[in-house]
Structure 1
Amino acid sequence: MAGTGTSQPTDLAAAKAALRRDLRAGRRMASAALGPAAGEALVPLILEEIPPPVGAVVGAYWPMPGEIDVRPLLHALADRGLALALPVVVDREGPMVFRGWAPGDPLEPGPLKTLHPSPSAPEVVPDWLLVPLMGFDRRGYRLGMGGGFYDRTLAALAAEGRLPMTLGVAFSAQEVDELPIEGHDCPLNAVATETGIRRFSPHPSCAPGSEDPV
């Protein structure tokens, strides 16, 4: 995420770095304390309260160490007949692409210790997206890992009029009161944690095709 319009870029970078350090520590503690139970808790919450529509292509992600484990959810979505896709970094300065994936399909190592489908998997465009995050606030804004991959990807999709529904996924311990943002930042549609679902109001500038989508 970016910072407030009155802050200087160096101040923003320092503030975000400090937040990431604190949130990373909190995430590790939550992961150690809750373990697989947190990921399992996501399944009924999402399927009952905010399920993807029938026929949706669900863009997901493969969890990294310390992140809430979305793999039980991915299996449950696949069991419901939903098509899944995982992100692939093809350019560290550009948007990601998504390739189709189903439980049991092989994964290959990618940049930054990620795992993604093989190049032979079909490229798809998700219309319902699970978004990993480092932190989120009560307004639905997200702090990422710092690489800007999701910001660029969502901006590219929005510019094409294909902005997906965005559901952040995190431990409840990753919530903060308020993150520093800029005018072009967009809140997530909702966030799911092991304790429940939080829905947020959309911003007019975040509509597909807007000039400043993310």
Structure 2
Amino acid sequence: MPLRSAPSPFRSLRDSSASDPVSADHDRRALRRLLRRRRRALDARARHQAALALRQHLLAMPEILRASHLAFYLPSDGEIDPRPLIATLRRRGVHIYLPVLRPLVHNRLWFVELRHDTRLVTNRFGIPEPALRQSAQRHRRLPAWALDTILMPLVGFDQQGQRLGMGGGFYDRTLAFTRHRGARPTLIGLAHDCQQVDALPVAAWDVPLDAVVSDRAIIRPHH
């Protein structure tokens, strides 16, 4: 499994963002490419072991054990796989929701319940999600604020819990209310350990995470 011990050209990315936003944006795009290649390079055995380790870490967290309505994602592009945990929680009667691209609303998500009759389709980004006809049924979905915990994929993360996503801003726009609303879901990012870097820049629109969980560790930043 690739480790983060090798020197990286992106170690000072947070510092560069303050002095040169254009350069920092270029660096973020390059960092995304690097970290996506890194996670895609993991073989099937390493991914399976990571998924089982992730489940073990998450099942030790009260934010998971006490929740009755949780949002997950289905993995693509080498993302760490939460499906072993999803299966465990569904057997316990926990309601599981998946993100769906909202039609007619730019870069925002619905969260639709995963049921035995849920039909999955591939969206325009190649990501599996519940079919639109089922997603449009209000009794099958919840607004983000009504969920107990939202677990989201990451491209990169740091020790402070900063998240680097794919660049579309879907989660940041959908969860923008969490900066101002009192009651809010717990936000947890999931990633392979090899996706950690020393420091990431913070943009004004970034939604802070309550925790980041990898196959190696649970990180709880102090905001």
TM-score class normalised by the smaller sequence: 0.7 to 0.9
Matched letter for residue 21 of structure 1: R
- The one-letter amino acid of 2:52's match is E
- TM-score, normalised to structure 2, is 0.80
Q: What SS does the corresponding residue of 1:120 show, helix, strand or coil?
A: helix
What residue ranges of structure 2 are gaps of 5+ in the alignment? Answer: 1-12
Number of the residue aligned with 1:108? 121
Q: How many angstroms apart in 2 are the aligned matches of 1:6 and 1:110?
A: 35
From 124, 141, 151, the equivalent of 2:142 is: 124
For 1:61-97, what per-residue CA distance to the aligned partner results, in whole angstroms no more than 9, with x for missing partners? 1110311111111111112221110011125733211
Cα distance per residue 1:112-136 (max 9 Å; x no partner)? 1111113324121322011101000
What is the aligned counterpart of 2:175 among 144, 154, 170?
A: 154
Structure 1 gap segments, 5+ residues each: 203-214
Q: What is the SS of the residue equivalent to 2:98?
A: strand
Superposition map of 1:1-214 within 5 A? 6-31=18-43, 34-90=46-102, 91=104, 93-102=106-115, 105-118=118-131, 119-121=133-135, 122-125=140-143, 126-156=147-177, 158-159=179-180, 161-202=182-223
Deviation (angstroms), 1:184: 4.9
For 2:107 and 2:47, locate their aligned partners in 1 and report how far apart those are by CA, in whole Å. 33
Mapped to 2, the partners of 1:57 and 1:15 lie a distance apart of 37
Amino acid at match of 1:134: V
Aligned-pair Cα RMSD in Å: 2.4
Partner of 1:209: none
2: CA distance, partners of 1:109 / 1:185: 27
Cα drift, residue 47 of structure 1: 0.7
Task: Report the Cα distance in structure 1 between the residues aligned to 2:187 and 2:206, rounded to whole angstroms.
Answer: 14
Secondary structure (helix, strand or coil) at the match of 1:182 reads coil
Deviates further, 92-101 or 165-174: 92-101
Q: Is the 8 A contact 2:172 2:207 kept in 1?
A: no
State the alpha-carbon separation in 2 of the partners of residues 104 and 51 from structure 1: 27
- CA gap of 1:18–1:182, structure 2 versus 1, over 3 A, is same
